[in-house]
Structure 1
Amino acid sequence: MWHLVQILAASRLWFSDGNSIAAPRGGHGVSSRLIVDGQGFLDVTEMRSLDLMVLDANGATLWLKRHERYSSRFACPSLQNSPYLLSLSLRIDDDGNFNLSIVDIPSIMTACYSISNQVSGSLKPLPEISVEDAAFINKMIEQKFIPYQNIPDAPKKPIQEIRALGRQYFPFTPYNFELAMTLYDWTTASFARMVLFKIFQYTGIDSGIAALPHPLDRESLAVNIWQSNFSVYTPQDADYMRTFLMQPAHSFDNLTAQLEEVIDQVHNFSETENRLLVAAMQSMPRTSIASRPRLFSGQVDIEQLGTGRFGIEFEECPLNKGPVGVELTHSLTDALASYMAIGKTITTKMVWSFTDSMKEAMHYSNGILLVLNPPSGVSVWDSVSFITPLSDDPSKIEYTAAPGTKFKIQSVQDNSLSGKPVTIIGLEPVLERDGPLKTRPMLEEIRQQRLNADVAENNAVRLTEQSIESHGSVQSGRGRYKSRRRGEDEWMDEYLP
């Protein structure tokens, strides 16, 4: 655990957990986000084992490591449950650089542990938020197009609660309510609008219109709205059709006629809300890889799309180059043999959702299961955001990746789970060159120490050829995989339902 005892900064500061700046924070696998007004974010993530503790600060690391001469674990205060809070001093310069150091170290700790006293680094940038975008979203809120109205299958958050959450997570902008509302709206059936109007763009063609950057496959859009058939979310439902600025439609011709009248408006609506959604996602606190070492996504998440439209979700699909009118559909087999082959990098056109449970992901799967593995040497999921605090359903665990996120294909396997055919794709986020620094090899040392301790204490680690290896390659087998149990460090075998 740690706390800030000295701060030198000209900017106003908040922690996204809503607690005071000086409050104790940390614990193994806990990442805390400091928001620096007008400058950026500092994510401090704690990882520890019996002999080693690391504080990762945007990729720069402070650490404590037991001296080798103290081989007995009873000679020194344990880092697992030490009564000593680490006292930290933080200086933030006007150029967005910071200096973080450990101060007031008890003598018993300096006698037992080697300590790196000081590190420096750079803040992660704040998102850019357009005044015009915020004003547009506010107008759509006033007209009740945002959020989705009359949600039938989840508790609805009161407006005042959404406002309060906006102030907590996005205090650096006067548009914190609009950011909170777009994130909340994504977790409702409004996500269908934000997905369909992204994936059916010919992203290889520039429209020449800033508000509508790429032309649309209009026929496919109409067909997939018409084929919506999940619970009450059908073309005959007034609330569902309102998300597309339309009235209930009782024939495909009627829906097509309505869509032609409003398609540019809905396109602009989707683009604007997606921009604010991404800004909100970028601003949410990060999740440590120690607490969630793997994420999962059941695809395609809109059933009527089918696996034949999974490939068009990526900028690398050659059909994105048109010409306009070419149907955006591409067989999964062909996609996996070309731009989605093992070793290739794909770029998402839309927001992707993940969860931390393979079982939950399979609940949403329509033929594809994504297994997301972290890049080596990093402490947090920088490419995905935990958005459940702003969800319409607080019981639904959801992480999201923004449009434009790049993933490397690590593995592909066709399998059958509970008699259901599924293609399992292993992925790894591609780090940006100017992104956070890779954390030092001490992260791997902590992981190995904790894993070895579990082996010694529990004798419960069993690695099988049918398991997903530590970097996610899915081996041939009987649908069995290897995953970390939530909040624990032991490996276990689980079976899908």
Structure 2
Amino acid sequence: MAAQRGGHGVSSRLIVDGQGFLDVTEMPSLDSMVLDANGATLWLKRHERYGSRFACPSLQNSPYPLSLSLRIDDDGNFNLSIVDIPSIMTACYSISKQASGRLKPLPKISVEDAAFINKMIEQKFIPYQNIPDAPKKPIEEIRALGRQHFPFTPYNFELAMTLYDWTTASFARMVLFKIFQYTGINSGIAALPHPLDRESLAVNIWQSNFSVYTPQDADYMRTFLMQPAHSFDNLTGQLEEVIDQVYNFSEIENRLLVAAMKSMPRTSIASKPRLFSGQVDIEQLGTERFGIEFEECPLNEGPVGVELTHSLKDALESYMSVGKTITTKMVWSFTDSIEEAMHYSNGIVLVLNPPSGASVWDSVSFITPLSDDPTKIEYTAAPGTKFEIQSVQHTAVSGKPVTIIGLEPVLERNGPLKTRPMLEEIRQQRLSEGVVEQRIDSHESIRSGRGRYKSRR
């Protein structure tokens, strides 16, 4: 690796054409440094005989950048080595010289899905039209972003477009047509995998009521392939005619959205030790529909026609109780500050803690570079992501009840390796820098939000 990359707390992604991704992340402390490569680690640790921090080159701003050698075989296995180590560094530090691991796989993208998205772009169903509070990105800019972020696939434009579209009000379609699936029932139709709670879908589209995002707005209704509706009966009639088309639309766009998310570089835990999310995503859902966002909700077993709504209290006492694992049905959005999460909260705040022994947020993707709002910090977790409930706290903000739920992503068994104790020590140093509950309680003047429809500040 001739080019100089990285930095304290920085994760750099190497794309190996046709094979996969290698995320190299630097995790420094005063007396040691860990270089994580997809969970395999190289490290430097000061010899105990050098007690003074001034006796050796500092790892914080060393004049001796590490030189790395990388070898990758045809099966995606790699060996990463530190080479040409200056003698002063070997005199001062114990150094592990080689680490081995596997590349993270490239996402699979079907020709049919990409063609469908292109068709929807041509027909102007993607992206959201006439965004009221931000200038729409030009198509050529989105193409350029696709080439920049997804150079490994000929469908880089389609990936960039679906990710961009998610950051607009189109997200409502991608959320509603996920959470109102009875995921415990197989429909027998591959394109439409589970039956839908059609009545709840219609009600929640009809109840959309923030700014211009209402059933009477042509652009908003176009996201559901419908015309403006001035009565619930009219909306229901329209929805019955197009519901399978919109369902298929949502499934395909969600698939490409997830592929795009997985292809974005990872964020190091050293730089973002916690993430936060204001829930529920859409105000009219209410806290009573938060539980149905998870596969573990028993209502997913049907029967078809039962209303998908479950009180938050009952959910927290059963499948969402502390120690339980939940699996998301939809894409979840996070930000990096409790203030921003409270801005979007409708009664719930999620506090996401990193997995023990991990160096990067492997379960969430930083998508702001492709957002319709470049000032909005957004991380996303894909449908099917698992989280362990670590804590539940009930409090009040500005006199309104807020439930704070602590979560930790559950690592896949065949996912990135957990790192060594030295990295865990560095991670704990970062996590100890703030107590989340105290920070939340200190923001009593923050007003609760309207979900992701909120106007920009």
TM-score, L = length of structure 1: 0.86
Structure 1 position 282, deviation (Å):
0.6
Matches of 1:226 and 1:339, distance apart in 2? 30
SS of residue paired to 1:258:
helix
1:205-226 Cα deviation digits (max 9, x unpaired) = 1111000000111110000000
Instruction: Call closer, same or farther: CA 1:473–1:290 in 2, change over 3 Å.
Output: farther
Q: CA RMSD in A?
A: 4.4
Do 1:369 and 1:423's aligned partners in 2 also have CA atoms closer than 8 Å?
A: yes
How far has the Cα of 1:304 moved from its partner? Answer: 0.3
Q: Given the superposition, is the C-alpha separation of residues 46 and 267 from structure 1 closer, same or farther in structure 2, using an over 3 Å criterion?
A: same
User: Which residue in 2 is equivalent to 1:405?
Assistant: 385
Deviation at 1:475, TM superposition (A): 22
Give the conservation status (yes or no) of the 8 Å contact 1:300–1:367.
yes
Q: Distance in 2 between matches of 1:221 and 1:394?
A: 31
1:377-407 per-position Cα deviation (integer Å, ceiling 9, x unaligned): 1100010000000000000000000000001
State the distance in 1 between where 2:172 and 2:230 align: 19
Tell me if structure 2 keeps the 8 A contact 1:468–1:475. no
The question of 1:373 aligning with 2:353 is answered yes
Gaps of 5+ in 1: 1-20, 458-465, 484-497
Q: Deviations over 1:63-86 (max 9, x none)?
A: 111111111111111010111111
* Equivalent position SS for 2:435: helix
SS at match of 1:276: helix
Structure 1 contact 370–427 (Cα < 8 Å) conserved:
yes
Structure 1 116/471 Cα, relative in aligned 2: closer, same or farther at 3 Å? farther
1:38-74 per-position Cα deviation (integer Å, ceiling 9, x unaligned) = 1110000001122111110000111111111111111
Name the CA shift for 1:453/1:178 in 2 (closer, same or farther; >3 Å): closer
- Identify if the C-alpha distance between structure 1 residues 472 and 355 changes in structure 2 by more than 3 Å, giving closer, same or farther: farther
Distance 1:455 1:157, change over 3 A: closer
Partner of 1:450 in structure 2?
A: 430
**Cα distance in structure 1, aligned partners of 2:2 and 2:192:** 46
**How far, CA to CA, are the matches of 1:197 and 1:92 in structure 2?**
41
Unaligned runs of 5+ in 2: none
- Residues 72, 481 of structure 1: CA spacing in aligned structure 2 closer, same or farther, 3 A cutoff? farther
For the 8 Å contact 1:467–1:481, the answer to whether it is kept is: no
- Quote the offset at 1:413 in angstroms: 1.4
Alignment partners' CA distance in 2, 1:308 and 1:454: 31
Per-residue deviation, residues 420-461 of structure 1 (Å, max 9, x unmatched)? 21011111111100100001111133356789999999xxxx
1:272-316 C-alpha deviation (Å, 9 max, x unpaired): 000000000011000011110101100001000001110100011
Question: 8 Å contact 2:398–2:444 — kept in the other structure?
Answer: no
CA distance in 2, matches of 1:149, 1:480: 17
Judging changes above 3 Å, is the alpha-carbon distance between structure 1 residues 263 and 168 closer, same or farther for their aligned structure 2 residues?
same
Q: Could you tell me how far 1:24 is from its partner in structure 2?
A: 1.5
Q: Which range moved further: 448-457 or 291-300?
A: 448-457
Alpha carbons of structure 1 residues 260 and 477: separation in structure 2 relative to 1, 3 Å: closer
Distance 1:258 1:214, change over 3 A: same
In 2 relative to 1, CA 304–41 (structure 1 residues): closer, same or farther, beyond 3 Å?
same
Aligned partners of 2:445 and 2:254: how far apart in 1? 32
Partners of 2:113 and 2:161 in 1: CA distance: 13
Distance 1:400 1:100 in 2: 29
Q: CA deviation at 1:155?
A: 2.8
Question: Aligned partners of 1:446 and 1:123: how far apart in 2?
Answer: 24
Q: Distance in 1 between matches of 2:126 and 2:326?
A: 31
- Does the aligned pair in 2 maintain the 1:372–1:472 contact within 8 Å? no
Aligned length: 455
Q: TM-score, normalised by structure 2?
A: 0.94
SS in 2 for 1:154: coil
Q: Which residue of 2 aligns with 1:478?
A: 450
Distance 1:452 1:250, change over 3 A: closer
SS in 1 for 2:402: strand
Distance 1:452 1:435, change over 3 A: closer
Give CA-to-partner distance per residue, 1:458-494, whole Å, 9 cap, x none. Answer: xxxxxxxx579999999999999999xxxxxxxxxxx
Cα 1:243–1:40 shift into 2, 3 Å: same
Cα 1:125–1:234 shift into 2, 3 Å: same
| Aligned-partner Cα distance in 2 for 1:470–1:438 | 34
Which secondary structure does the structure 2 equivalent of 1:422 belong to? Answer: strand
When structure 1 is superposed on structure 2, of 164-173 and 189-198 the one drifting more is 164-173
2:19–2:103 CA contact under 8 A, matched in 1? yes
Residue by residue, what CA displacement relative to the aligned partner does 1:93-129 show, whole Å, maximum 9, x if unpaired?
Answer: 0000000001111111111111111111000111111
Counterpart of 1:62 in 2: which secondary structure? strand
Q: Deviations over 1:190-214 (max 9, x none)?
A: 0000000000001011111000000
- Look up the match of 2:152: 172
Residue in 2 that maps onto 1:231:
211
Shift of 1:151: 0.5
- Cα pair distance change 1:55/1:253, threshold 3 Å: same
Secondary structure of residue in 1 paired with 2:23: strand
Q: Quick one: structure 1 residues 35 and 210, their matched pair in 2 at CA, closer, same or farther if it must change by over 3 Å?
A: same
Does the CA contact (< 8 Å) of 1:183 and 1:390 recur in 2?
yes
**Corresponding residue SS for 2:61:** coil
By how many angstroms is 1:418 displaced?
A: 2.0
2:444 and 2:261 mapped to 1: Cα distance? 25
Render the CA deviation track for 1:112-164: whole Å, top value 9, x for unaligned.
11111111100011111111101100110111100001111123212111111
How far apart are 1:336 and its partner, in Å? 0.8
TM superposition shift of 1:22? 3.7
SS at 2:49 equivalent: coil
1:324-345 CA-partner distances (Å, limit 9, x unpaired): 1111111111111111111111
Give the secondary structure class of the aligned counterpart of 1:41.
Answer: strand
The answer to whether the 8 A contact 2:343-2:447 is kept is no
State the secondary structure of the residue aligned to 1:204. Answer: coil
Partner of 2:263: 283
Contact 1:32-1:285 within 8 A present in 2 as well = yes
